[in-house]
Structure 1
Amino acid sequence: MTTRFLDRPAVRAVLGPTNTGKTHLAIERMCGHSSGTIGFPLRLLAREVYDKVRALKGDAATALITGEERIEPPGARYFLCTAEAMPRDGGNRAFVALDEAQLAADRERGHIFTDRLLNARGREETMLLGSATLEPMVRALVPEASVEDRPRFSTLSHAGACKLSRLPPRSAVVAFSVEQVYQVAELLRRFRGGAAVVMGALSPQTRNAQVELFQSGEVDYIVATDAIGMGLNLDVHHVAFASLSKYDGVRQRRLHPAEMAQIAGRAGRHQTDGTFGTLSGAGEGRGRPLEFTDEEVYAIEQHRFAPLTKLYWREPTPRFDSLATLIGDLEAKPFEEQLSPAPEAIDLAVLKRLAEQPDIAGSVRGAGLVRRFWEACQLPDFRQLGADAHARFVARLWSDLREGHIGADYVAARIEELGRTQGDIDTLQGRLAAIRSWAYICQRPDWVLARDEMAARARAAEAKLSDALHQRLTERFVNRRTAVLMRTMGKDRGLLRVKLEDDGRVTVEGQSIGHLDGFRFVVDADASVEDRKLMLAAAERHMPALLAAKAQKLVTDELGELELADGALVRGTQKVAVLERGKSVVRPRVVVAKELGQLDPAHKARLGEALELWLAQKLAPLEPLAALEAAALDPEAGSEVRALLLTLADRAGTVRREEAGLAHVPKEKRPLLRKLGVSIGSLDVFAPALLKPGPRQLLRALGVDRRPVQAGMEAVIEGGRHLPAGYRHAGKQAIRVDMAEKLFRAAHEGRAEGNRNGFLVDAALATSMGLLPESFRALMRDAGFRQGEAKPLAEGMFGPPRPLLWTWRAPRKDSMQPPSRERPQRAERKTPRGDRPRKPQSGKGKPEGRGERREKPAVTGPATGKALAGLAELFGKTS
């Protein structure tokens, strides 16, 4: 009969969906007490939490007790157990918790969880953790419990069906049979490089090793049974169901929505949202597609499920007067209406089968032997052989136990026989299941002689088999080379380590994918058909870097260190090759010097190819200029834009505005220039990417731009007659054109906020660049800005002088406007008459600050003709 502890401290029931932190809360609460016990549904989960608590409390204070493993230091205060190994009264500890308590409705193990729910209590605090569907049963059976509902940390949403070939990375595929797990894992190996495999029958060591494959990113997929739904914390973003039905021990049935949610809830941990769906192409039989119903999707996304109405119960303290009395008590019906008799579990089925055998039944006399016989019948069927086969194993076991103990020699021989690591995956799994049975037997306090030694041998054999099984699973279901190649197709391909080995092999993340034959990539001969396409795609992405590396090695080995100078490739003072104008300014032809003409033709051609690859890598900073040249060949750009682009390319990326013919470029074409990286400034049109030291030095070394190059391309330098490339005069100084444009933009922003009397211009930016005040004023005059005169304070007034106001007038008649998006108001029209510059009369005098002569606006004819002439010179054609 059920014992109720209503006089114990109140019980706290924490209920909610997955990813609500219930287990984490229980760990924190237990560690805050002087002692505690937590019962878990799986040995794997108990082991995972044991490792966490041991890290907090130390080895001496933490114990792990499961059917097959028992780590119990003498002074242990915190016990992590499976539900079956958990003391039914809590073990007289301060804190007691039961995880996944809704399993009290499970056909096979439900009576165990029901008993712990009703009877396991802590001296100071008791916590029941489970699904919200358990709430009515808790309120009815444990009325003293306070119920807390915890919301999910992240959102879970339905993503529909997805092909296996398009499954997103960091996905888990859930199947409900070993055959289906293997099938899906094999397909993922072929098309995605592999998957980790997790099943309930795996040992914790094998499970952890497989999970580490997934968690470390070595594979992006994990295939698991529904055991993944019980607290296995993984970095999963999507859960795909390979089936929506399973065999529950009685029949093949569709999963309940709560079961679906328990599994789907593994997607999206903590604050990361997750998705769930099905695998398209799979079916549920009779031609029906594999898909969730609308009602199931709503229930899973909203965490709304039908509440439990019954929990399974079996007498937890039967009498041992005789086998008949024992069986009668185990088949007794509960008294509470919320409880149902548990279906016949395998331990009861084995007991009834063996009790029908006269030789066995005749040997079980007295309460002690009946109890001992019942404990033998409770040996779990790790091998999943069924009641009849398992009953034969228990009968053989009882033949030794009824005489006292099992001999150590016999146990050692069985363990040694099962500990062999030869064989395939199925063979190793069978041995692991069998060794788990012997590990369980060796943990019993009075079954085996030399118990501790035999238990240690069983654990060692299990560890050895686990390593071998992990290796077999990895060899069968993980193709590391394919996994690496698939990663090259993703967004993180730039982070991969692609290396050219000394022997010519090309490796990606340490995995060989082929070799270079000269400068030709050859795929590994042992590559599968599926891998060849991936290898070629990966090689195509990384080939420029690989060829450049090989060319650099070849050039260094053959010629030493090269330099680019005066339109030639030189080594010291010796010319190795000269550069001739090619189809593009930045794509010259490499002609090997005459001194190397005596080389073997094949070797000379190979060296010339290496030099071209070396030069292409060297000229990589000039890609913006190459883009301008390529855009100039596009007929869609229009003749005016093409002329401007050719002028820019011919002048190495910088041209005065009055020489650019910008007035004839349609406004709708100007976004194309911005897309190409061309800035239209107040005084210059330029490509900012070419105003860096690297590109400028390369242009001079190529002989494209003979102007001197400022080594550091500082913002402001001393002026002179011949300015370096990319600079313009600013009084006695010179300023880089993009920095000048920065000053003009700041001034135009101030102008937009001014009034008819003028506007303020902050000279602090110019000063920070190193521009002197007189140089700043000269530069601003070139852009049409005028600084007003200082006005003295009236007599008797004190304080700082009034700020100087500026005015602006366009310096040309080519509709030049400031480059801001909004056209600012024309402040000069609001300037008082007294402040306006006077116009020259009859050619005598000029406006203050203007140039010596007034230039005519640029027209289409000359500019276009000059640009076409440049095009003819560039490509060797006549206009």
Structure 2
Amino acid sequence: MTAVLGPTNTGKTHLAIERMIAQPSGLIGLPLRLLAREVYGRLVARAGEAAVALITGEEKIIPAAPRFWVSTVEAMPLDLDTEFVAIDEVQLAGDLERGHVFTNRILNLRGRSETLLLGAATARPLLEKLIPGLNVVTRPRMSVLSYSGSKKISRLPTRSAVVAFSSGEVYAIAELIRRQRGGAAVVLGSLSPRTRNAQVELFQNGDVDYLVATDAIGMGLNLDVDHIAFAGNRKFDGYQYRALSPAEMGQIAGRAGRHTRDGSFGVTGRVDPLADDLVETIESHRFDALKVFQWRNSLLDFSSLAALRNALDLPPREDGLTRAPPGDDIMALDHAARDDEIRALATTPARIELLWDVCQVPDYRKIAPANHADLLTHLYTHLVRHGAIDEDWFQRQLAFADRTDGDIDTLANRIAHIRTWTFVANRADWLKDPAHWQGVTRGIEDKLSDALHDRLTQRFVDRRTSVLMRRLRENAMLEAEITPSGDVLVEGQHIGHLQGFRFAPDAAADGPEGKAVRAAAQKALASEIESRADRLSRAGNEDFILATDGTLRWQGEPVARLTAGDTALTPHFLLLADDQLTGPAREKVQARIDLWIKAHVGTLLKPLEDLRQAEGLEGLARGVAYRIYEQLGILERQEAANEVRQLDQGMRASLRKLGVRFGAYNIYIPALLKPAPSQLLAQLWALKHGTPDMPGLAELPQLSASGRTSIPVDPQIDKALYKVVGFRVCGPRAVRIDILERLADLIRPLIAWKPLDKEVAPPDGAIAQGGGFTVTVAMTSLLGCAGEDFSAILKSLGYRLERREVDLPPAPAVVPVAEAGAAGESGTEAAPATDDAPAPTQADADAGTAKTEAQAATEPAADLADASELAAADEPTASGQPEPQAQGETEASTTVVIEIWRPGRPERPGRSQGDGEQRGERKGRGDKRPHGPRRGKDTQGGEHRKEADQRHKSSGPDRREERRNAGKPAGQRDKAPRRDKPVDPDSPFAALMALKASMEKGEK
């Protein structure tokens, strides 16, 4: 037997592999599953898969006739008879948790031809004492290990490994390195071997230059590490927090340097610099020898639970050995022995031995000892009662871990969970189909391991920075390119985006390689910007679009932003370009953008441009046209009442040819109310009078285009903006100006209506009396509102409200429609009239009569009463309740309270609605001379005189008759006796009448 001892980087493991390959058969035990996998791969490469077997607690790969066996120390087959046996890291026999397993293998496993014990020189005295005649071979380190002092994490040299002793510290350090140096690989003891291998591969192949790990890297991992930095010097060993021993620090620090390449170690973070004597000890590899090996009796008595427990408590008989502290398996056995059900089942040596085997299942989850013991008792119960674990129950346990969502800690916990079931599945006699379940558990663990590796890489590795840093170390010329979408790539890594003519660097690209990266990117950007400038100068109008925020985009990329000009309709622009766009290229871009903006404004707002040029307009019409141009196409009629009144018909016709419409409330251009011109006008107005992101700038044009006729007024939005997009603020709502004109068209015939010889219903079934009207469904439907909102709109337009009791006669079977007379014949003020929509004529009334008589055949006869009831539906009587009909009273008449709206004084700023209503309801000046919008001298010359004459005529007998019959049903009204006027004897009509009378007399 030979012991090959020495510090790290002495080639001990490589020597064992070479000696085993030279033998017909061999077995090697290694301290870590990860290291066993590495040695297995090296042997497969040398001898082939059919000749090598791998046995760990969680994995078994056993060909039909293997020559060489690779195993973890705990899983080494004790019944194999091979020519060669090797045990690595024998100094772990002094470990409190695992030491008794190494001691057992050292004392009991032998090869027929050769046995090698590999490890640190600290185990030499005990090995020589326990194994008489042992041949000891010491090997010197092949490179120099030196102390480099303390360094900040951000200043650590490349190819460094930072060692911490908790997962939280590992993650925090890896995150810091990612932000400053491009990323780090992570190695934790809790990671699955597959995940650890993948992370180590990141470091080994140069994707990252830093490794952050726990002391797991001190257990035989062969890494290309040049520097070890201790970010902590205390660890929890399962019992307490303690300082690392010099030997443990030497084992970890010794991982720096490979073969003949020297290595260094030091401290970082909050760790104090190492003492001089400790530094000398580590550099010279002279550590205190181990005093004892941990030992536990392996000759167990399974005759009873008590006998088994006593056998485990036996002390060692040889000097240099000490009884190991109770491990997880002994604590699980004690917990099971206290369970009455388990004691009732464990009655035979075979069952007691099975219980001890179940207790050997490792506690990968590390939740709590009692929790792990409960799991083992479930397994034991299944095995004893059913001979195997129930597969449905086993499948349910696997389902808890068969998910790849979640963060790093969640995936790590699932891996620990599935490793337990992987260990169980590798027991050949515990499941009915162990091979199947081994494949299932292995697949789940691999899937979770890959997902965990991806999460670790995404969180702690910046691949772009790592690739660029590697290329810079190689002193290679960086290659840059720009994709069609504008992404700027250097060495295939995204470093920014070219938006139009501006380069937006990636925020994460400003690292240690930032200067070189930007220099490489500038070369590609220069040629691309020149090419883009040339394409833009030749682009068609359809390639440009003006966004709602005033940004001009070319092929989707921002190239300019509108700014305020001398007037709202002549905006300027700001070119969005970096300094790379200079000289003739910049001038071409500016000229093309300026041309497009002028064409865009000139096309959508052509009616305004036509008014500004005022071709064919003279004198006062030109002035009115310019005022409309200044007001962006909408001029309130009251503001220009004097000028409009003086326009003759020829001037009005000239303005109409230019698209101007004369309405009751506004003089406007209907073409500008369309969505596209409205949106552009809002943008231009905001640039001149506000900001491009002012409230309502994006919403109002969309509401105008949506077909809504009125909208609630938002107090945050400038009221002038409502007017720009074609709305007029009327109390709490804003109404489209063209809808207001249609409302005026509905109101006008109601105000102008007058019955001639008998009481009949006015047009549309409304109630009209004395130049007033009631609100109809057509009006509220037109504006999309009713109630108080509609009343507020009417008040803002200059109408006043009256409430009146009216006696309605019984509805006739057919209600004819009276001829609508002129406004002056009713003796009241005319409704608002527009130049483009004059008052209704006699032909209109005839047409209405025909329509109403046609409808009468199919509609109910009580149209008038129904309309009155609708008008008074929300209006209570004086008592607050409808008046009951007297018993026995005939339905001769019905008294209702109706709301009559009349033209009145329009509301002014600063006057409350309540004051206006009170003034409108009281008699006096307001009744004699209404001040609402009316048809006057500005519409047709001399109409004021006509209206005055007709008011004078209506003040005679007809007026008195109307007052006398007010409130009476139509059938009970009295007619005044007709008075014969005296005939002038000198009149030619008198001679004609005398001749006619004499002829009639002669005939008789």
Normalised by the size of structure 1, how large is the TM-score?
A: 0.60
Percent identity between matched residues is 50
Distance in 2 (CA, whole Å) between partners of 1:325 and 1:600 is 95
Alignment deviations for residues 77-105 of structure 1 (CA, whole Å, 9 cap, x no partner): 1100010111346x110000000011000
Report which structure shows greater RCO (CA 8 Å, sep ≥6).
1
In structure 1, distance between residues paired with 2:112 and 2:534: 78
Which amino acid counterpart does residue 410 of structure 1 have in structure 2? Answer: W
| Aligned match for 2:428, one of 439, 445, 448 | 445
Superposition CA RMSD, Å: 2.7
- 1:414 aligned onto 2:397: yes
Give 1:477 deviation, angstroms: 1.4
Change (3 A) 1:428 1:332: same
Equivalent position to 1:211, from 196, 200, 204: 200
Change (3 A) 1:241 1:598: closer
Correspondent of 2:212 among 214, 223, 244: 223
- Pairing partner for 1:82 from 50, 72, 79: 72
Match of 1:55 in 2: 45
Structure 2 counterpart of 1:342: 324
Deviation of residue 519 (structure 1)? 6.5
- In the TM superposition, what whole-angstrom CA distance separates every residue of 1:5-34 from its partner, at most 9, and x where no partner exists? xxxxxx010000111110011011101111
Closer, same or farther in 2 for the Cα pair 1:552/1:234, shift >3 Å? farther
Deviations 1:712-740, CA, capped at 9 Å, x for gaps: xxxxxxxxxxxxxxxxxxxxxxxxxxxxx
TM-superposed CA distance for 1:521, in Å, is: 3.3
SS of the residue 2:345 aligns to: coil
Structure 1 position 538, deviation (Å) = 4.2
Amino acid at match of 1:171: S
Aligned to 1:457: 440
Q: Look up the match of 1:859.
A: none
Match of 1:433 in 2: 416
Corresponding residue for residue 515 of structure 2:
537
**1:848-859, aligned counterparts within 5 Å?**
none
Query: How does 1:283-294 map onto structure 2 within 5 Å?
Result: 283=271, 290-294=272-276
Between structure 1 and structure 2, the one with the greater Rg is 2
The AA in structure 1 aligned to 2:71 is C
Instruction: Report the equivalent of 1:511.
Output: 493
Q: Distance in 2 between matches of 1:259 and 1:592?
A: 68
User: Match for residue 168 of structure 1?
Assistant: 157
2:400 is paired with a residue of what secondary structure?
helix
- Aligned in 2, Cα 1:13/1:603: closer, same or farther, shift over 3 Å? farther
Change (3 A) 1:299 1:602: farther
Q: Deviations over 1:46-70 (max 9, x none)?
A: 1111111011111111100000101
Q: 2: distance between equivalents of 1:92 and 1:495?
A: 59
* 1:259–1:273 CA distance, 2 compared to 1 (3 A): same
Deviation per CA, 1:493-549, whole angstroms, max 9, x where unpaired? 63544333344422123221113457753213xx35xx5466853443324533455
| Corresponding residue of 1:25 | 15
Task: Kindly indicate whether the alpha-carbon contact (under 8 Å) linking 1:416 and 1:461 is maintained by their aligned counterparts in 2.
Answer: no
Residues in 2 aligned to 1:42 and 1:66: alpha-carbon distance in whole angstroms: 9
The alignment partner of 1:470 has SS state of helix
Find the counterpart in structure 2 of residue 753 from structure 1.
none
Shift of 1:592: 8.9
Partner AA of 1:172 in structure 2: A
Cα distance 1:556–1:94, how it changes in 2: closer, same or farther (>3 A)?
A: farther
What code does the residue aligned with 2:519 have?
Answer: R
Contact 2:490 2:517 in 1 (8 A): no
Whole-angstrom CA distance in 2 between matches of 1:227 and 1:602: 67
The residue number in structure 2 matching 1:233 is 222
Matches within 5 A, 1:124-163: 124-163=113-152
3-state SS, counterpart of residue 494 of structure 1: coil
Please give the alpha-carbon distance, in whole angstroms, between the structure 1 residues aligned to 2:295 and 2:34.
25
For the 8 Å contact 2:44–2:52, the answer to whether it is kept is yes
1:281-430 matched pairs, under 5 angstroms? 282-283=270-271, 290-403=272-385, 404-430=387-413
Which residue identity does 2:196 align to in structure 1?
A: R
CA distance in 2, matches of 1:387, 1:591: 73
Gaps in structure 1 of 5+ consecutive residues: 1-10, 284-289, 560-589, 605-879
The residue matched to 1:359 in structure 2 has which SS? helix
Q: 2:54 aligns with which of 60, 64, 73?
A: 64
Supply the distance in 2 between the matched residues of 1:138 and 1:552 (Cα, whole angstroms): 78
Q: In the alignment, is the contact (CA less than 8 A) between 2:235 and 2:242 conserved in 1?
A: yes
1:478 aligns with 2:483: no
State the one-letter code of the partner of 1:63: A
| Counterpart secondary structure, 1:340 | strand
Is the 1:521–1:539 Cα contact (8 Å) retained in structure 2? no
Any unmatched runs of 5+ in structure 2? 538-580, 594-1004
Residue-by-residue CA offset, 1:263-314 (whole Å, 9 max, x unaligned): 111111111111111113x24xxxxxx3322121111100000011210100
Q: Distance in 2 between matches of 1:127 and 1:592?
A: 79
Change in CA separation of 1:309 and 1:449 when aligned onto 2, cut-off 3 Å: same
**Aligned equivalent of 2:544:** none
**C-alpha displacement of 1:73:** 1.0
Aligned to 1:262: 251
Question: Would the alpha carbon gap of residues 536 and 128 (structure 1) be closer, same or farther in structure 2, given more than 3 Å must change?
Answer: closer
SS at match of 1:420: coil
Q: How many Å separate the matches in 2 of 1:369 and 1:85?
A: 22
Decide which moves more: 155-164 or 411-420. Answer: 411-420
| Secondary structure of residue in 2 paired with 1:197 | strand
Secondary structure of the residue aligned to 1:468 is: helix
Q: Return the offset for 1:387.
A: 2.2
Distance, in Å, in 1 between the alignment partners of 2:106 and 2:587 is 92
Distance 1:392 1:517 in 2: 62
Query: Whole-Å Cα distance in 1 between the matches of residues 374 and 61 of structure 2?
Result: 30
- State the partner residue of 1:746: none
2:265 to 266, 276, 281: 276
* Aligned residue in 2 for 1:619: none
CA distance 1:30–1:166, shift in 2 (3 Å): same
Mapped to 2, the partners of 1:600 and 1:184 lie a distance apart of: 49
SS in 2 for 1:144: coil
Task: Indicate conservation of the 8 Å contact 2:408/2:452, yes or no.
Answer: yes
- Distance in 2 (alpha carbons) for counterparts of 1:600 and 1:400: 81
Go from structure 1 to structure 2 and tell me whether the alpha carbon gap of 1:447 and 1:125 turns closer, same or farther (over 3 Å shift). Answer: same
The alpha-carbon distance between structure 1 residues 601 and 358, as it changes in their structure 2 partners (threshold 3 A), is closer
Aligned to 2:30: 40
**By how many angstroms is 1:135 displaced?**
0.7
Distance 1:480 1:140, change over 3 A: same
TM-score (norm 2): 0.52
Question: Is the Cα contact below 8 Å between 2:304 and 2:347 reproduced in 1?
Answer: yes
* Structure 1 residue aligned with 2:6: 16
The CA deviation at 1:74 is: 1.6
Cα pair 2:230 2:266 within 8 Å, conserved: yes
Q: CA deviation at 1:356?
A: 2.1
Q: Is the 8 A contact 1:408 1:450 kept in 2?
A: no
Query: What secondary structure does 2:476 align onto?
Result: helix
Check 1:551–1:147 CA distance in 2 against 1; reply closer, same or farther (3 A cut). Answer: same
Asked whether the 8 Å contact 1:92–1:122 carries over to 2, the reply is: yes
Q: Structure 2 counterpart of 1:462, which letter?
A: E
Which deviations, in whole Å up to 9, do the C-alpha atoms of 1:547-599 show, x marking residues without a partner? 4553786799999xxxxxxxxxxxxxxxxxxxxxxxxxxxxxx9999xx9995
Q: 1:603 to 1:505 in 2, by over 3 A?
A: farther
- What is the identity, as a one-letter code, of the residue corresponding to 2:345? S
Residue correspondence of structure 1 range 181-196 to structure 2 within 5 A: 181-196=170-185
Contact 2:170 2:213 in 1 (8 A): yes
Give the paired residue count: 550
Residue 108 of structure 1 is matched in structure 2 by: 97
Distance 1:207 1:592 in 2: 57
Residue 398 of structure 1: how far off its partner (Å):
1.5
Aligned in 2, Cα 1:549/1:25: closer, same or farther, shift over 3 Å?
farther
